[in-house]
Amino acid sequence: MAFARRYLPSIASLLALEAVDRLGTASAAAAELALTQGAISRQLQVLEDQLGLPLLVRDRQRLRLTPAAQDYVREVRRALGLLSSASLTLRANPTGGSLNLAILPAFGMHWLAPRLADFAQRHPEVTVNLSTRLRPFDFAATGFDAAIHYGRQDWPGVEYLKLMDEDIVAVAAPALLPHPLTRPEQALSLPLLQLESRTGDWGRWLAHHGVPGQRPGGMLFDQFATMTQGAVHGLGIALLPLFLIGRELADGRLVPVFGGPVKALGSYYLVWPKDRPARAPLASFRRWAEIEDQTAPVKRDHEVP
């Protein structure tokens, strides 16, 4: 890739501009960057001369960026973050490649984490870095190579590899519901727990059991881990993925409410950007994940009959 070198400022100038924007004065920026106030002023002047336009306006005792410079510094801050992340990644694995993977917390803990040791054994040259993201994002604005996605194939600009489908089951603490319901509509008289990103699940569960046209509300959670604990402690009945609650079912901390598992609306996918050349660590992970999906089904501690 060719760069217009005349428009590539020095890191020192960009750091000075970013610090002044964030802190408001050259003296505060100088203190943070361990420079003199004069050095900060010189870096800003060099940057303005290189770009050919003013970037700063003095407002009483503070320095304020022009509207165009405010847009520019947002891009600069993102670029500096990517450079820092790339350097940390290189230091973490100087002899091999790295894979930056965005994961969903529950799936990462219960499906991916138990399997990563096998990947590490097969590919010791790859360092896997994990970070949580709950929703789709723009790959171009991050340093991620791939992500775990739940739902349908509705993430634009990515390729998909299905990892697993999902079964959900209605459960509650035995103290809240000593005996299973005899009719599914009885669930409507009990407190319902639901994930804020899946507020239609109870309506689909009721429709599956012959009670259509319902969209009940309930207490909202942003992650399955906290909703599971809410159900265990008797806050209400919850629709939870079966692969996440095997231990709670086996220990009797949660019991089925009515019926067996119901196929969820979405599936879990590994996704990666279409327009980015495939790096070797990602190619290795994709091959491993495809084999894992075919040969290592999700292990469950307890099956709901």
Residue extents of the structural domains in the chain: 5-91, 97-305
Q: Is 3.40.50.300 the CATH classification of the domain at 97-305?
A: no
Q: Can you give the pLDDT at residue 234? A: 96
Q: What is the mean pLDDT of residues 84-107?
A: 78
pLDDT at 300 exceeding the cut of 70: no
pLDDT at 298 exceeding the cut of 50: no
* Contact between 87 and 76 (Cβ < 8 Å): no
Q: Residue 65 is inside which H or E element, if any?
A: strand 62-65
Q: Can you give the pLDDT at residue 293? A: 64
pLDDT 10s digits, 40-73: 999 999 999 998 889 998 877 788 899 999 999 9
- pTM as predicted: 0.64
Share of the chain above pLDDT 90, in %: 66
DSSP assignment string, 217-273: --EEESSHHHHHHHHHTTS-EEEEEGGG-HHHHHTTSSEE-SSS-EEEEEEEEEEEE
Q: Can you give the pLDDT at residue 273? A: 95
Right CATH number for 5-91 from 3.30.70.1060, 3.90.1150.10, 1.10.645.10, 1.10.10.10?
1.10.10.10
